[in-house]
Structure 1
Amino acid sequence: MDFMKLLKSLEELLYELISWFVFYPLTLWRIVRRPLHMLSYAERQLLEEEDRQFDDGLSPPVLLLISLIVLHSVGQLSDPAGDHILTGLLADDWNLLIFRAVAFSLFPLVFGIIQLRANRARLTRTTFKPIFYSQCYAAVPFVVAVTLGLQCVSEAELSTPILVAGSLVFVAGLVWYVAVEMLWLSRSAKLRPVISATIVVTTLVFAVPLFLFLALVVGLASGSITLPETL
């Protein structure tokens, strides 16, 4: 009996993993093509029964995690020597992936709180979850574009076309993210575009240093980053 349950669990796991090859690019394409629709879709899906949620796509946190795994793999293939740059806890691939997942989740976290405040809603687990899920959808193309752009720019020996392409991808991801957040905040909180644009830009100005500060603190705590010795 236990053996049959194990086989059933393995069967479900295999199907879930294989289905990602179809639903990952499909979900990502739908977000890029119709971002506001997909943000609404994420919030609506949590109202469905649990076994029917995100039946025609991937859930936002899973999509973000898969994106980070794919980006990490691409980075390893393009720069195998880069694995030896980090030391301490972050030298381990799984620790690094967990850190990146938490760090990049700061963007959905901050924008989700901003959206709740703009809607004058109380911050609870119930009210925050659908907003966080929708914000994860918005963050995925941004994370993919910015990470790929930085990987291209950070290569030691670059040709000019690759450098230009990486810069364009980075800027395109940033502009896309700002535009989506501005339109979404304007729609969800019924704000004027100028006000929502100001809020989004101000939030990013706060979120990016927070992201870098978290990276610094974790790097120092894990031993992956060391401060220069004072004279």
Structure 2
Amino acid sequence: MDLMRILRSLEEFLYELVGWLVFYPRTFWRVMRHPAAIARYTQLELEQVPERQFTETISPVLMLILSVVLAHALEMLARIPAADIPTPLAQLLLGSEQALLLTRSVVFCGYALIAALSVLRQQRRPITRETLRTPFSIQAFLVSPFVVLLSAGLLLLRIGGTWEHPAGIGLTVFACAWYLWARASAYRAMVDIGWGGAMAWVSGAFLLTSALLVALMSLLLP
């Protein structure tokens, strides 16, 4: 009986893994091309019962986690040496593969969280578990390509070869520019606002989040 349960669990895991191989690149491409459509799609999906949500894509938070794992896998394939960890707190947060993945997931969730809070503020809606769920899920989708593109760009900069350095700069700039455009597009799908106001609001939230994360990293790695 225990063996049958284990086999069924293994069967479900393998099927889910195969599903990721199909739906992750499909979802990634949809988010890259049509962020506003993804925002509307997410709103409609969250109105369904949980069993029927995101049947055509990967769920938003799982999409973000898989993107962090993919970015980390790229670093492992490139065999980039790990950075020195000078403090006990940094050792706790970055000292193992599991801790590093968790820390990176939380960091990029910070982008999604602050963006979602800015949407609720612009909509003049109270912050509750229910009202936060939809904008946070949308932003989790949007931040997923940003994780992969930004990490790949910074990885090329760390390698620092003759072509890797300019390619890394270009990819990093593209990642930030795409992310701002995607957030502004999704923002306009949720809030009645023009392109100028959307870009100003999104850029302000992005700079605020980045400044907070840089300050945090300066405390962890003095």
TM-score, normalized by the shorter chain, greater than 0.5? yes
Which residue of structure 2 lines up, in the alignment, with residue 199 of structure 1?
201
Q: 1:41-83 CA distances to partner (integer Å, 9 max, x unpaired)? A: 1222122121221111101111111111111111022134x13
Q: Corresponding residue for 2:111?
A: 107
The answer to whether the aligner puts 1:181 opposite 2:183 as a matched pair is yes
Matched, 1:61 2:64: no
Which amino acid in 2 is paired with 1:181? R
| Residue aligning to 2:102 | 98
Counterparts of 2:205 and 2:50 in 1: how far apart (Å)? 33
**Residue 129 of structure 2 aligns to which amino acid in structure 1?**
R
Whether 2:210 is the aligned partner of 1:211: answer: no
Distance apart, 1:95 and its partner CA: 0.3
* Corresponding position of 2:36: 36
* Structure 1 residue runs without a partner (length 5+): 220-224
Residue identity opposite 1:114 in structure 2 = S
Query: Alpha-carbon deviation of 1:213?
Result: 2.3
Asked whether the equivalents of residues 71 and 147 of structure 2 are also in contact (C-alpha less than 8 Å), the reply is no
Provide the rounded CA distance (Å) in 2 between the counterparts of 1:150 and 1:132. 26
Instruction: Compute the displacement of 1:201 (Å).
Output: 1.3
The amino acid that maps onto 1:149 is G
* CA distance 1:183–1:35, shift in 2 (3 Å): closer
Distance 1:189 1:32 in 2: 20
Q: Whole-Å Cα distance in 2 between the matches of residues 119 and 59 of structure 1?
A: 24
- Correspondences of 1:34-183 after superposition (within 5 Å): 34-80=34-80, 82-83=81-82, 85-86=84-85, 88-89=91-92, 90-155=94-159, 157-159=160-162, 161-183=163-185
Under a length normalisation based on structure 2, what TM-score does the superposition of the two structures give? 0.91
1:103/1:214 contact within 8 Å kept: no
Q: Indicate if the aligned counterparts of 1:83 and 1:91 stay in contact, CA closer than 8 A.
A: no
Residue type of the partner of 2:125?
A
Matched, 1:22 2:22: yes
Letter of the 1:7 partner, please give it. L
Partner amino acid, structure 2, of 1:158:
G
Of the structure 1 ranges 192-201 and 13-22, higher mean CA displacement relative to structure 2 is found in 192-201
Cα deviation, residue 216, structure 1: 3.5
> 1:168 corresponds to which letter in structure 2?
G
Give the RMSD, CA atoms, in angstroms: 1.6
| Map of 1:222 onto structure 2 | none
- Flag the structure with more relative contact order, 1 or 2, with Cα contacts below 8 A and sequence separation at least 6: 2
Letter in 2 for 1:179: W
SS in 1 for 2:82: helix
Mapped partners of 1:11, 1:162: distance in 2: 41
Task: Note if contact 2:70-2:148 (Cα within 8 Å) is conserved in structure 1.
Answer: no
Contact 1:182 1:200 in 2 (8 A): yes
Secondary structure in structure 1 of the residue aligned to 2:126: coil
Shift of 1:141: 1.3
Q: Is the 8 A contact 1:84 1:91 kept in 2?
A: no
Contact 1:76 1:83 in 2 (8 A): no
